[in-house]
Amino acid sequence: MILARIQKLSVAIPENLAEMLEEEIIFGRLKSRERLTEEMVAARYGVSRSPVREALRLLERDGLVMREARRGIWVSPMSQRDFDEVYTCRIELEGLVAKQAAESADIEKKAEFKNLLSELKQAQARNDARQFFIVDVRGSFLTYTLAGNKTLTRLLGGLEKQALRYRYHAYEQDPKIIQLSLDDTARIYDAITAGDGESAKAMTENLIREIWQSMRAGIRDAFGEG
């Protein structure tokens, strides 16, 4: 999703717009509660309001913006409450997808995890947070692909992005949070590659729960309880 969008803009403008806005929101260039007027977005990207409206519907679907009928659209507010919601859902669904991914027999795809892991380490070494998160998302999508459950992928797509907003914020506050993410991610990848569904699930659930707990106080301090 993120990435790989140059020169694609000629087709599927709404999807591409949505991806670009997504990035703006995840990486905090569009801030929580900031208003988005259709005309502003249209002017900024040099298109008309029609594709903008559809792009905003897509963002709404993924919980990145909130619409109030006939009033407008705002970047979704962040709060500890929202964070809790996203993470309680993630625990269940990421656990399930890890289990189903582990049960896949697609050895070649599983081998990809090794490359991703080294890319993650490189990004971390270079202190390139943006790249780190982009690769991390690719890892998530690899997991989703392995699981081969389209419905689950659809649901997780809309959670992953919200989660990433919080994770990127946490990184900005304290860059060494990446270390935690990297260790966790490596362990998850290993569990999936090993092919033991039940333990992959349990590990994933535990790891996400850990991250959740470690980030929780900081989120409250930054955004309030909600």
First-to-final CA distance of the chain:
29
Minimum CB distance to its own copies smaller for 57 or for 187: 57
- Decide which of DNA, its own copies, none touches 72; Cβ closer than 5 to 8 Å per partner kind: DNA
107: exposed, middle or buried (C-beta count within 10 Å: 0-12, 13-18, 19+)? exposed
Judge contact between 200 and 100, C-beta under 8 A: no
> According to DSSP H, which parts of the chain are helical?
13-26, 38-45, 49-61, 80-102, 107-125, 129-147, 150-173, 177-194, 197-223
Site string for its own copies, 142-171 (x = CB under 8 A): -------xxxx-xx--xx--x---------
Q: How many Å apart are CA 173 and CA 177, to the nearest integer?
A: 9
Judge contact between 51 and 38, C-beta under 8 A: no
- Decide which of DNA, its own copies, none touches 215; Cβ closer than 5 to 8 Å per partner kind: none
Minimum CB distance to DNA smaller for 16 or for 153: 16
Site string for its own copies, 50-69 (x = CB under 8 A): x--xx--xx--x-x-----x
Closest CA to 89 of 194, 169, 185, 162: 162
The residues binding DNA (CB under 7 A) are 10-14, 36-39, 47-51, 53-54, 67, 69-73
Strands of the 72-75 sheet, one edge to the other: 35-36, 72-75, 65-68
- Decide which of DNA, its own copies, none touches 149; Cβ closer than 5 to 8 Å per partner kind: its own copies
Minimum CB distance to its own copies smaller for 88 or for 127: 88
Q: How far is the CB of 144 from its own copies (least distance, A)?
A: 12
Closest CA to 162 of 74, 57, 60: 60
The yes or no reply on residue 218 touching its own copies (CB under 8 A) is: no
Minimum CB distance to DNA smaller for 37 or for 179: 37
Q: How far is the CB of 191 from its own copies (least distance, A)?
A: 18
Q: Residues in the site for its own copies, rule: CB under 8 A?
A: 11-12, 50, 53-54, 57-58, 61, 63, 69-70, 82, 85-86, 88-89, 92-93, 95-96, 100, 149-152, 154-155, 158-159, 162
